[in-house]
């Protein structure tokens, strides 16, 4: 069974983030589900380079409240962002025993996002994904995913990374 990523813009949230399984005619995608300050979010697995345990970042002179600092990740300096603060929530209180850093990468841009926890990696079907409603409050929310009886906000990594480039 061959999996092929669907490229392109101007399509629905599922079209932008789906793997097509040609043999069965199903449309699925994999997500990394996470929690930030009690709220569930997810990223498409293709956006996540790696997940590492929390390492306290070295503070920088940045005046942006969501910039935690930088870490050295195997010889590369990676800016660390407080995802909760960046999404307009309160600054995340970090428990170093459970917190994680999701390292996202797109092109030449690599950023780490502090999250409360990484909960699971799941394959979801097209019937579980809906476009984010107008006025959902964030340009970073790509769509809404139904997992069991929960609603999870699927974040648009490309928007987060592009805005971070401009803000840096």
| 146 contacts 132 by C-beta, under 8 angstroms | no
Nearest to 133 by CA among 144, 122, 125: 144
Mean pLDDT on 147-164:
85
The pLDDT tens digits for 60-104 are 998 888 899 999 999 999 999 999 988 888 766 888 899 999 999
2: helix, strand or coil = coil
The pLDDT tens digits for 118-147 are 999 999 998 999 888 777 666 788 889 999
Does residue 149 register a pLDDT over 50?
Answer: yes
User: For residue 52, what are the β-bridge partners?
Assistant: 101
Cα–Cα distance for residue pair 27/141, rounded to 1 Å: 21
Does residue 4 register a pLDDT over 50?
Answer: no
How many other C-beta atoms lie within 10 A of the C-beta of residue 118? 17
In order of their start, the domains of the chain are 3-167 (2.40.50.180)
DSSP assigned state of 10: S
Q: What is the pLDDT of residue 21?
A: 40
Q: What is the pLDDT of residue 150?
A: 92
Range in 22-36, 48-62, 66-80 with the lowest mean pLDDT: 22-36
Q: What is the pLDDT of residue 55?
A: 93
Please tell me the pTM assigned to this model. 0.78
DSSP assigned state of 11: S
In DSSP notation, 85-121 reads HHTTSPPPPP-TTT-EEEEEEETTEEEEEEESEEEEE
Does residue 32 register a pLDDT over 80?
Answer: yes
């Amino acid at each position: 069974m061959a999996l092929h990523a669907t490229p392109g813009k101007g399509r629905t949230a599922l079209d932008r983030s789906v793997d097509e399984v040609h043999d069965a005619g199903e449309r699925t995608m994999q997500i990394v589900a996470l929690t930030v300050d009690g709220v569930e979010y997810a990223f498409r697995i293709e956006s996540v380079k790696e997940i590492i345990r929390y390492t306290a970042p070295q503070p920088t002179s940045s005046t942006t409240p969501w910039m935690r600092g930088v870490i050295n990740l195997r010889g590369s300096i990676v800016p660390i962002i407080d995802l909760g603060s960046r999404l307009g929530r309160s600054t995340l209180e970090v428990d170093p025993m459970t917190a994680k850093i999701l390292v996202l990468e797109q092109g030449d841009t690599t950023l780490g996002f502090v999250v409360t926890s990484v909960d699971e990696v799941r394959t979801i079907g097209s019937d579980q994904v809906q476009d984010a409603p107008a006025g959902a409050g964030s340009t970073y929310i790509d769509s809404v995913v139904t997992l069991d009886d929960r609603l999870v906000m699927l974040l648009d990594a490309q928007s987060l990374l592009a805005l971070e480039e401009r803000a840096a």
